[in-house]
Amino acid sequence: MSTDTTSAAMLDASAVAAVDSTGQAAEIVDLATHLRDALWRVDSAGVPPFDAPGGLIVAGMGGSAVGGRLALAALGGRLERPFVVADGYALPSWTGPQQLVLCSSYSGNTEETLAAYDDALERGAPRLVATTGGALAERARRDGVPVIPLPGGFQPRAAVGYGLVAALEAAALAGAAPPLRAEVEAAAALAETLAADWGPDGDESNEAKALARALHGTVPVVAGAELTAPVAYRWKCQINENAGLPAFSSTLPELDHNEVVGWPGSEGLGPFSAVFLEDAGVHPRNALRVELTAAEAHAGARVVERVAARGETPLERLVSLVLLGDLVSLYMAVLADVDPVDIAPIDRLKAALAAR
């Protein structure tokens, strides 16, 4: 598709429906409902408070781990105890009865998360589970472990609101952080407004559609700092899975000590784009770094975009960027004529692993 054709391509509801065979768009724009429903689901699980002096460990992979990463960023300096995300087969070596372990697997059959659950059991760590069912729910029922029941029928990555709230609530239950229920409600209200503005029924020049057109045909490198660092990773993952395209993420200030040197040499390698996610609450030096690093990226990047978060609270600002990135990835899928449900390489990998 040529640049001219792409810039003129419609990204309305009918264009999205033409590639979106399973209605992923509807799940993205319904983030506000997911956030509110997640609070109810935590309540319905009747999870008792845990006194976990060692804090919280969130064990999960992919779309089921992102909630933990986002929650950690939203809590930031309000954390009162440690909070760690474990994305692998084993928990940290120091895990024990002092830590609450939230095992998050949408399907309930993620092999790494099942191994982490068993590891927590062996180490005598109290557990909490968030899942739709599967082997993880069976283990929890066997052991009398509380389960936060997630709704079925989503792609795991589309359940980001549920994963975020489950991790926030688990942190509060473990005594690792104060409850953020009022902030969740405010973030849901903001997401509702932004979804109407940025969604397929929104104006063709809205921010999400404009960004997708700008990034189309490039390899995006998305950078964030502090609150926006895990959101940058979310953007990368969503572009990978929804649009079926390579994308990468980086974190400031670290990238200014290495990656920034590579931008001048990128021009001859391929069409790269640089996206910087900005937050009003960031450290002033990191705010300055975004400005200066974006200027350096112009040396080789075809496109350089600076994207500002919306909202008052840290959670509102985080949720606004998550929603925006999800919609950008959806529109990039439309421009690439890719069904966002298609994750054939992951399916092949899982089948090959299961056979060995």
Where in the sequence numbering do the catalytic residues fall? 241, 257, 350
Dmax over CA atoms of the chain, in Å, equals 60
* Cβ-Cβ contacts under 8 Å for 206 (sequence gap 6 or more): 197, 198
Amino acid at the residue 193: T
Q: Are 145 and 129 in contact (CB under 8 A)?
A: yes
- Which residues are within 8 A (CB) of 350 and not within 5 positions of it... i.e. 6 or more apart? none
The answer to whether the CB of 224 falls within 8 A of the CB of 230 is yes
What kind and span of H or E run contains 105?
strand 100-105
State the virtual CA torsion across 325, 59, 22, 231 in degrees, nearest 10. Answer: 0
| Residue 175 CB-density burial (10 A; 0-12 exposed, 13-18 middle, 19+ buried) | middle
What separation in angstroms does the CA of 85 have from each of 240, 276, 282? Answer: 21, 24, 22
Return d(Cα 79, Cα 84) in angstroms, integer. Answer: 11
CB 307 within 8 A of CB 278: yes
Buried b (16+ CB within 10 A) or exposed e, 18-56: ebbeeebbebbbbbbebbbbbbebbeebebeebebebbb
Q: How far is CA 249 from CA 124, 130, 258, in A?
A: 36, 27, 14
* E-only strand ranges, 166-302: 219-225, 248-252, 272-278
Contact 61, 112 (CB under 8 A): yes
Q: Which two tokens stand for residue 63?
A: 């779309």
Amino acid at 122: E
Of 146, 143, 57, 52, the residue nearest 93 (C-alpha): 57
